[in-house]
Structure formats: structure tokens, C-alpha cells
Amino acid sequence: MSYFNGTLILLKEKKDPKLFMLDFNENLKSIDVLFQKSDYEIIVFNDSRNEEEKEPIELNKSMTDDYIIDLVCSWKGLGLLTYRHPDFEFELWINYLTWDDKYINAIKVSFARKDTMFEDNRHEKLISKMSEFVDYEYVVGDINEESKNYISMEESLDKIKEHILESSFEIDSRNW
């Protein structure tokens, strides 16, 4: 099992998923963070808040970015997409998150641990650039299951915010 370094970017206000993702994707392109499109990539959909599931959808190179965004936004639980950046050996993943199955409340950016164990802080720099594209309340990482500061995305937003306020993180916008 692989270890991933995850960072939560919690938005100040909930946003319309499609409008947010279209704008965010254009901004990501400006820093060379691009959709990974190939015949083996998939959209992994999040369970809805009432635990309904949707099967993954395979992507292919002919799909446009707008079409991929439409696919994610067509599901109330939103989902996870794979991206590439030239400074990283492995893919990075962005999970678009909702707590009400209507609006986007946060994104979680995950890197393969092998790409975050270098002595430099390139993933922190990329997270910082990404966070400039959104009006965020908090940016906190390392929050994955293996971390001492694990944050379950199944918790309520209030519990997540409470956990953030009671903890310190490797990446923490309160220290910027």
C-alpha cells in the first residue's frame, strides 16, 4: 500500500461545482498542472452523503477538459481526478469535495509520498500556488490516514474545522 501526502484546502464559502472547477482548471493550467488523460485513467466518484455510489468512468485522450469537468459535476458527490506536473515523477490527485451534495466546499490534493520526501519543498510550493487561485479558509496538510493529524472527510465540516483549530500541520496557512 502506498503512502500519500494529502493537503486539504477548505473554501471560505461553498461554491457552484462547475463554475469553480472550470475556473480552477484554467488556473491550474497556468502552473502546468494538467489533467492526466489516457486510456487507463478514471474518474473516481465520491459516495454521496447518503452513501449512494457511482461507478468510475474511464477517461481517454479525446475527452476535453470541459467534458471531464461535466462528468464530475454530473454526480452529486463529485470526485477525484488525476493530474500531472513536470516537477513530480508521479501523478497528483485532486478530490473535489462536498458536504451537502450540492456545492463544493473543499479540495484535497494528494501526492505520492515518494514525491514529497525530497529535501526540497516543491509540493508545498505547488500547494501554495494552487491556494492562490481560491478564497480559502484553511490550507492544512499532511492529513492522510497515516498522519498523526488525520482528517476524515466523512466528518462534518464543523468537526473538521474544530480539528484544524486544535492541531498543527506540516502545511498550515495559519503560519503563512
The domain limits of the chain are 4-175
State residue 1's pLDDT score.
40
What span, in angstroms and rounded, lies between the C-alpha atoms of 55 and 46?
Answer: 10
State residue 118's pLDDT score.
60
The residues, any chain, with a CB within 8 Å of residue 101's CB and separated by 6 or more, are: 48, 49, 50, 76, 77
Nearest alpha-carbon partner for 85 in 45, 28, 137 = 28
pLDDT one digit per residue (tens) for the chain, 176 residues: 456 789 999 999 999 999 999 999 999 999 999 999 887 889 999 999 999 999 999 998 899 999 999 999 999 999 999 999 998 888 899 999 999 999 999 999 998 866 665 666 888 999 999 999 999 999 999 898 888 889 999 999 999 999 999 999 989 999 98
Report how far Cα 70 is from the mean position of its chain's Cα atoms: 17
Q: Which pTM was predicted?
A: 0.93
Tell me the CA end-to-end span of the chain in Å, nearest whole number: 32
Phi, psi of 72 (to 5 degrees): -65, -45
What span, in angstroms and rounded, lies between the C-alpha atoms of 81 and 39?
Answer: 14
